[in-house]
């Protein structure tokens, strides 16, 4: 399967934080959910992909091109929404349209205004009068309106109510159905990712903990809930991490079917991405 994004051994060091040999790839036509707690390295990784951060080691290829050497070619085909992105408050969506059509060869004015109408955004209203959710919708409309092949989204649904989130997610799903487009989507709202992401990449403390298909994670992984006696009977090779509460142990396993064939422990719960994050970060 052809990859639209490839990252190999990405390293970036700050005084109090470090990205350590980040490697993962995003196949064409797929959505990858990028998860991790605040400060784990998601935004730093995304900014390196976009060449906003200049000084790092490792290799990043987008559409098979080097993201630094071929920056101009690449940026035409990438749509971006960043968590700390903003437009000047005194401008209007009309101003954005007039600016973007001079920047992007494929800027689609009709599409942009269609999104404004769909999102109930007034073209001549200054951005300072928009709510946080309205601003986020404007960013998404802008990112989509030059027909990108890759969307890179950092918390694109933050500030949106559930109805608006569902609307935006539907737009993302429609986007990847066209011309084998792809999305790298960083979000704390993991329930959204469970429904739309084909892959999940999990970063913690600057390291990639795992990068797997969503189906593999949600279908094969599980949480065993057991007593202390039952926990002590489990071989350490047969679990990833565990978390102890007052009344029971929660044990993260990689293969429910194999585990059931070895142990007579009745309660094995399906896993959620929230469960996965909590046990991987807080577990022992």
Task: Give residue 68's pLDDT.
Answer: 85
**Which own/partner contact pairs does 236-240 have at CB distance under 8 Å and 24+ positions apart?**
238/262, 238/263, 240/279, 240/280, 240/283
Tokens of 35: 């998860």
- Average pLDDT estimate for 166-195: 89
% residues pLDDT > 70 (the chain): 100
Average pLDDT for 47-69: 90
Upper half-sphere CA count for residue 279 (Cβ side, 13 Å): 24
Determine the distance from the C-alpha atom of residue 123 to the mean position of all C-alpha atoms in its chain, rounded to a whole number. 29
Q: Which long-range contacts link 108-115 to residues 24+ away (Cβ below 8 Å)?
A: 108/145, 108/146, 108/147, 109/145, 111/144, 111/145, 111/147, 112/141, 112/142, 112/145, 115/140, 115/141, 115/144, 115/145
Band (154; pLDDT cuts 50, 70, 90): very high
Joined tokens for residue 91: 């401008």
Give residue 86's pLDDT band: very low, low, confident or very high (50, 70, 90). confident
Domains of the chain as residue ranges with CATH: 3-212 (3.40.50.300), 221-282 (no CATH)
State the average pLDDT over residues 190-209: 94
Residue 36 is predicted with a pLDDT of 93
Which of 72-86, 94-108, 154-168, 265-279 is the most confident on average? 94-108
Whether the CB-CB separation of 186 and 201 falls below 8 Å is answered with no
Which of 64-78, 84-98, 204-218 is predicted most confidently?
204-218
pTM above 0.85, yes or no: yes
**Confidence band for 265, pLDDT divided at 50, 70 and 90:** confident
pLDDT tens, position by position, 212-257: 999 999 999 999 998 999 999 999 999 999 999 888 999 999 999 9
pLDDT of 207 above 90: yes
Confidence of residue 73 (pLDDT cuts 50, 70, 90): confident
pLDDT of residue 132: 86
């Amino acid at each position: 399967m052809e990859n639209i994004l490839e990252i190999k051994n990405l390293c970036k060091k700050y005084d109090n934080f470090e990205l350590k040999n980040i490697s993962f790839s995003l196949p064409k036509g797929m959505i990858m959910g990028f998860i991790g707690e605040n400060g784990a390295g998601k935004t730093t990784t995304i900014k390196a992909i976009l060449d906003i951060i200049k000084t790092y080691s490792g290799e990043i290829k987008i559409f098979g091109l080097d993201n630094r050497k071929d920056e101009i070619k690449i940026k035409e085909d990438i749509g971006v929404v960043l968590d700390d992105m903003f437009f000047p408050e005194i401008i209007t969506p009309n101003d954005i349209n007039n600016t973007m059509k001079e920047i992007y060869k494929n800027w689609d004015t009709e599409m942009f205004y269609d999104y404004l109408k769909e999102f109930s955004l007034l073209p001549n209203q200054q951005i300072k009068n928009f709510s946080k959710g309205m601003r986020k919708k404007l960013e998404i409309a802008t990112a989509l309106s030059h027909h990108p092949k890759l969307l890179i989204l950092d918390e694109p649904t933050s500030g949106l109510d559930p109805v608006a989130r569902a609307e935006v997610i539907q737009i993302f799903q429609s986007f990847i159905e066209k011309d084998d487009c792809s999305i790298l989507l960083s979000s704390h709202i993991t329930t959204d990712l469970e429904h739309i992401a084909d892959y999940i990449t999990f970063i913690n403390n600057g390291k990639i903990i795992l990068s797997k298909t969503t189906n593999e994670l949600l279908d094969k992984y599980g949480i065993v809930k057991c007593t202390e006696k039952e926990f002590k009977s489990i071989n350490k090779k047969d679990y990833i991490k565990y978390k102890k509460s007052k009344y029971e142990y929660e044990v993260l396993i990689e293969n429910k079917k194999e585990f059931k064939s070895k142990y007579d422990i009745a309660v094995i719960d399906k896993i959620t991405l929230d469960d996965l994050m909590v046990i991987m970060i807080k577990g022992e």
